[in-house]
């Protein structure tokens, strides 16, 4: 049974005389941090999520590790695809943002990358693959973000949960399978999908993420010692800074409101003028548009 116990949480924190609560997580976690700050708790946020979708910061820790895992998976799929003349589809995480799919496709030499920010035309992806066949390359690697959706279509949803109004109850899944089936029908090549899933979320972090998380932790402690609460430690243009949790939350002001994929949510998505998009287009990766 879902029940709001935030007031009990606040009282426990006060009873135990905590000076500050550090919240490590993504947009949902930082939304809760903002809500707790409104209830009188000293809170400082640290952006941690593989999705890289926290607003107001350039990068979250966990993201680089996830991209590295996805890029290695592409390397491994490349071998089978080339040997067996197949389309190898890799579905990666990211929720409603395409950072993992886009950067891993660039790093791993993907031929097509489908992301939530660009509703795709499957025929464009098929054309890219057929162009490769005409050049004697009878295989292709397609990276699909779990939140990718076709033009005039919707995201692939595995199920809708009922875990309460304070969380995102949409469970994404099936985007890679759908793309693989459609590309097989359009190109005549066999297509195989691999859903990387939770393999992206665990294991040994990269050195980059270890350093980044340490930098964020040091900044968060600095903010605490200065008495600056209700903020998120961020990295902007290569420099550590902080922003108000109100700015991170954006228009999602209601306490306990749903986080992620709502009109009020303030998550960081891939923009069309971002260097990753420009780079992908420059090296010939098809983005489905």
Residues 258-288: pLDDT tens digits? 666 667 778 999 999 999 999 999 999 999 9
Residue 21 vs residues 13, 24, 39, 116, 221: alpha-carbon distances, Å? 9, 10, 13, 33, 11
CATH number of 6-61+205-249: 3.40.50.450
Average pLDDT over residues 218-225: 98
Q: Mean pLDDT, the chain, as a whole number?
A: 93
Q: What is the pLDDT of residue 158?
A: 80
Burial 148-172 (b: 16+ CB within 10 A, else e): bbbeeeebbeeeeeeeeebebebeb
- Alpha-carbon distance of 235 to 215, in angstroms, equals 9
- Return the pLDDT at 3: 80
Q: Is 146 helix (H, G, I), strand (E, B) or coil?
A: coil
* Model confidence pLDDT, tens digit, residues 226-256: 999 999 999 999 999 999 999 999 887 777 7
pLDDT tens-digit map of 40-84: 999 999 999 999 999 999 999 999 999 999 999 999 999 999 999
Q: What is the mean pLDDT of residues 163-173?
A: 71
pLDDT digits (tens, 9 = 90+) for 113-140: 999 999 999 999 999 999 999 999 999 9
Where does CATH 3.40.50.450 sit in the chain? 6-61+205-249
Query: Which of 160-169, 201-210, 213-222 is the least confident region?
Result: 160-169
pLDDT score of 36 more than 90: yes
Residue 170 confidence (pLDDT) above 70: yes
Handedness of CA 53, 59, 61, 64 (dihedral sign): positive
pLDDT at 174 over 80: yes
The burial class, CB within 10 Å (0-12 / 13-18 / 19+), for 243 is: middle
Global confidence as pTM = 0.93
CATH 3.40.50.460 segments of the chain: 63-202+273-282
Residue numbers annotated as active site: 51
Per CATH, the number for 63-202+273-282 is 3.40.50.460
């Amino acid at each position: 049974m879902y029940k709001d116990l935030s007031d009990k949480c606040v009282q426990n924190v006060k009873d135990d005389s905590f000076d500050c609560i550090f919240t490590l997580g993504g947009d949902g976690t930082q939304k809760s941090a903002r809500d707790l700050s409104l209830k009188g708790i000293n809170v400082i946020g640290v952006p941690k999520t593989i999705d890289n979708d926290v607003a107001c910061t350039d990068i979250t820790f966990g993201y680089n590790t996830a991209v590295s895992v996805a890029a290695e998976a592409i390397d491994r799929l490349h071998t089978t695809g080339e040997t067996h003349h197949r389309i190898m589809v890799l579905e990666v995480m990211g929720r409603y943002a395409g950072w993992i799919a886009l950067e891993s496709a660039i790093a791993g030499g993907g031929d097509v990358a489908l992301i939530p920010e660009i509703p795709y035309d499957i025929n464009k992806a098929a054309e890219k693959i057929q162009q490769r066949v005409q050049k004697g390359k009878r295989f292709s690697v397609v990276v699909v973000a779990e939140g990718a959706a076709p033009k005039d279509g919707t995201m692939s949803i595995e199920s809708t949960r009922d875990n309460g109004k304070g969380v995102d109850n949409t469970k994404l899944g099936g985007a890679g399978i759908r793309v693989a089936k459609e590309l097989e029908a359009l190109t005549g090549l066999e297509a195989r999908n691999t859903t990387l899933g939770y393999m992206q979320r665990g294991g040994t972090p990269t050195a980059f993420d270890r350093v980044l998380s340490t930098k964020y932790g040091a900044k968060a402690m600095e903010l605490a010692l200065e008495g600056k609460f209700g903020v998120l430690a961020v990295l902007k243009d290569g420099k550590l800074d902080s922003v108000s949790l109100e700015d991170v939350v954006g228009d999602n002001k209601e306490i306990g409101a749903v986080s992620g994929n709502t009109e009020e949510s303030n998550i960081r998505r891939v923009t069309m003028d971002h260097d990753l998009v420009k780079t992908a287009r420059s090296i010939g990766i098809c983005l489905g548009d």
